[in-house]
């Protein structure tokens, strides 16, 4: 299988980032160790990054919310002289497999989206303090911040030079953010994305590429002043102390990935995996004080952390297993009670962060390029937030009636308020609103079922499952489905599923994951970019790439 990419890390293992905490303001310093690339064959010069750099950043963004809720402003800056960030490492991209390049871009997009949303969701505003060259993925890193500050000197500039230099697109939302977020004029955006040297100073501000341009002599002081001003203006509640996110325990064998609450069964012959989610083994804490005391062992937080890690592990390390099947087991009433504690205390900082973590993790499911299914079996606990998985997948199969030799409780689904608000998709609709886009009254009908135990016939009547199957048909029908799905072209499946999952309005997020990812996927396969004489292969040689000039 090759090198296993591990997404688990912690501050003691960081090689590329430093953080200084000072009350409500944190300094996040990018200081990439050029000799600590995730793979051999390249050096991470000029603060360029690979997946390993972003794994650390993803961990930082999560910990900032849970371990340092006192932080209201995060200043992202460079630890290198005369360079903010040179973007994704070109040698890494040139030598990486196509699948790794596309997965890398998807993960970096998810990480950028996470800290971009931190201000609205968690009250943590990110400032990009740009000194030096800020190009490609480096500018995309800055673009995802909420406020961009550029020093006015002879070397500091922002640029998206991928098209003229590399024959690819900016891979981490740059094109979308300059138009949809920065609302840059189309003709100026066209010019900006066609020049290698980028844009400096006043022109960068006039073109809406940054928010402030500041004389170099007063830049550092102004950045700190602005950070303190933003912190003082913040409406985020003061929280004295967060909780610690301890390392996840995980055991991997050839056919199994085991956590405490998540177990993944791998069937390589069938090119499929089963992701089994376990319900709680005890009643919830009596109140939020007791919930906080549980720390990262609180059931819904622990389950979410393990599920997210499993998703990321499978994406990068099990790419030929194209069908994921979600299952659950456990006490549905206890799960409902655990969720109710969070929903009833949604204004508590930790309850809010756990719910937001589930929102981000469910979005990872939505954009995962695998065929997704769910089996609602006897004894399952698809309640509330776990029921969201049933509406995230491509198909849901549910057991109907009693099964011979099976004394587990009958298969049932229970909807809660969680299915109607706190976990929107990237299109800003709930999964049920997306599911019933053409029949919005069905959303209201489903809402009327909140709190009811919906067994197979009722779940089918309300459109919550794809198919219900009795004891006679279950084994044969699900076997045929799994074999058929695994036999289809993975490319066709990825394209079909990505198109069907995001009905409804287009947002900046759906444009990034729908349009950008699809186009970049195609461009990364084209000889103009990755062929022997393509731009990515020739970068740094002084010879421009050779292009097939057909427009298709």
In the chain, what are the domains? 12-233 (3.90.226.10), 251-490 (3.90.226.10)
User: Taking residues 341-352, what's their average pLDDT?
Assistant: 97
Residues 92, 95, 97, 99, CA torsion sign: positive
What pLDDT sits at residue 310? Answer: 98
Measure the CA–CA gap between 350 and 535, rounded to whole angstroms: 47
Provide the 10 A C-beta neighbour count for residue 50.
24
User: Taking residues 421-445, what's their average pLDDT?
Assistant: 97
Mean per-residue pLDDT of the chain: 96
pLDDT digits (tens, 9 = 90+) for 193-202: 999 999 999 9
Q: Higher pLDDT residue, 186 or 518?
A: 186
What pLDDT sits at residue 2? Answer: 67
Residue among 468, 373, 391 at smallest CA distance from 433:
391
Find the helix or strand (DSSP H, E) in which 77 lies.
strand 73-78
Residue among 62, 552, 34 at smallest CA distance from 301:
62
pLDDT digits (tens, 9 = 90+) for 263-308: 999 999 999 999 999 999 999 999 999 999 999 999 999 999 999 9
Please, are residues 9 and 53 in contact by the beta-carbon 8 Å criterion? no
Number of H helices, E strands in the chain: 24, 22
User: Taking residues 534-549, what's their average pLDDT?
Assistant: 90
Q: What are phi and psi of 116, to 5 degrees?
A: -65, -40
pLDDT surpassing 80 at residue 421: yes
Measure the CA–CA gap between 412 and 389, rounded to whole angstroms: 14
Measure the CA–CA gap between 26 and 4, rounded to whole angstroms: 32
pLDDT surpassing 60 at residue 1: no
Q: Starting at the edge strand that comes first in sequence, how are the strands of the sheet with 157-159 ordered?
A: 83-85, 133-135, 157-159
Torsion of CA 514, 519, 522, 527, to 10 degrees: -160
What pLDDT sits at residue 312? Answer: 98
Residue among 171, 14, 155, 199 at smallest CA distance from 92:
171
What pLDDT sits at residue 552? Answer: 81
What pLDDT sits at residue 191? Answer: 97
pLDDT digits (tens, 9 = 90+) for 214-242: 999 999 999 999 999 999 999 999 998 99
What pLDDT sits at residue 240? Answer: 87
Measure the CA–CA gap between 85 and 136, rounded to whole angstroms: 8
What pLDDT sits at residue 412? Answer: 98
Q: What percent of the chain has pLDDT over 70?
A: 100
What pLDDT sits at residue 542? Answer: 87
pLDDT digits (tens, 9 = 90+) for 360-381: 999 999 999 999 999 999 999 9
């Amino acid at each position: 299988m090759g090198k296993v990419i591990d997404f688990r890390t912690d501050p003691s293992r960081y090689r590329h980032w430093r953080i200084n905490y000072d009350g409500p303001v944190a300094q996040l310093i990018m200081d990439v160790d050029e000799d600590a690339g995730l793979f051999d064959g390249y050096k991470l010069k000029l603060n360029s990054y690979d997946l390993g750099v972003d794994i650390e950043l993803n961990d930082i963004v999560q910990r900032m919310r849970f371990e340092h809720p006192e932080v209201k402003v995060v200043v992202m800056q460079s630890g290198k002289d005369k360079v903010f960030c040179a973007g994704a490492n070109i040698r890494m991209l040139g030598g990486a497999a196509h699948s790794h390049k596309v997965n890398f871009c998807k993960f970096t997009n998810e990480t950028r989206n996470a800290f971009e949303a931190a201000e609205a969701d968690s009250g943590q505003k990110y400032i990009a303090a740009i000194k030096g060259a800020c190009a490609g993925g480096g500018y995309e890193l800055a673009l995802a911040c909420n406020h961009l500050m550029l020093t006015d000197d002879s070397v500091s500039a922002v640029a998206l030079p991928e098209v003229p230099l590399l024959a690819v697109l900016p891979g981490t939302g740059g094109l979308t953010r300059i138009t949809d977020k920065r609302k840059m004029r189309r003709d100026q955006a066209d010019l900006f994305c066609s020049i290698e040297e980028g844009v400096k100073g006043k022109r960068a501000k006039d073109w809406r590429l940054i928010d402030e341009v500041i004389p170099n002599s007063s830049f550092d002081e102004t950045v700190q002043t602005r950070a303190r001003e933003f912190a003082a203006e913040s409406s985020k509640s003061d929280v004295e102390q967060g909780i610690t996110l301890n390392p996840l325990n995980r055991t991997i064998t050839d056919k199994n990935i085991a956590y405490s609450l998540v177990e993944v069964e791998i069937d390589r012959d069938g090119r499929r995996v089963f992701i089994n989610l376990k319900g709680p083994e005890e009643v919830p804490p009596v109140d939020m004080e007791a919930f906080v005391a549980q720390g990262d062992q609180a059931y819904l937080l622990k389950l979410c952390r393990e599920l997210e890690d499993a998703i990321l592990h499978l994406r990068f390390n099990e790419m030929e297993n194209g069908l994921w099947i979600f299952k659950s087991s456990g006490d549905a009433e206890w799960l409902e009670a655990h969720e109710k504690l969070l929903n009833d205390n949604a204004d508590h900082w930790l309850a809010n962060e756990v719910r937001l973590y589930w929102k981000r993790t469910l979005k990872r499911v939505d954009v995962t390029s695998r065929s997704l299914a769910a089996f609602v079996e006897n004894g399952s606990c698809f309640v509330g937030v776990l029921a969201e998985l049933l509406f995230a997948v491509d198909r849901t199969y549910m057991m109907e009636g009693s099964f011979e030799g099976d004394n587990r409780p009958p298969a049932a689904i229970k909807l809660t308020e969680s299915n109607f608000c706190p976990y929107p998709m990237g299109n800003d609709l709930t999964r049920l609103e997306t599911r019933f886009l053409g029949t919005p009254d069905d959303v209201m009908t489903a809402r009327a079922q909140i709190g009811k135990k919906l067994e197979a016939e009722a779940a089918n009547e309300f459109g919550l499952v794809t198919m219900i199957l009795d004891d006679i048909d279950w084994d044969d029908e699900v076997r045929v489905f799994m074999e058929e799905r695994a036999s289809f072209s993975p490319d066709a499946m990825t394209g079909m599923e990505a198109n069907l999952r995001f009905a409804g309005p287009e947002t900046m997020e759906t444009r990034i994951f729908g349009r950008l990812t699809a186009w970049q996927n195609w461009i990364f396969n084209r000889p103009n970019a990755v062929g022997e004489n393509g731009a990515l292969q020739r970068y740094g040689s002084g010879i421009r790439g050779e292009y097939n000039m057909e427009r298709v």
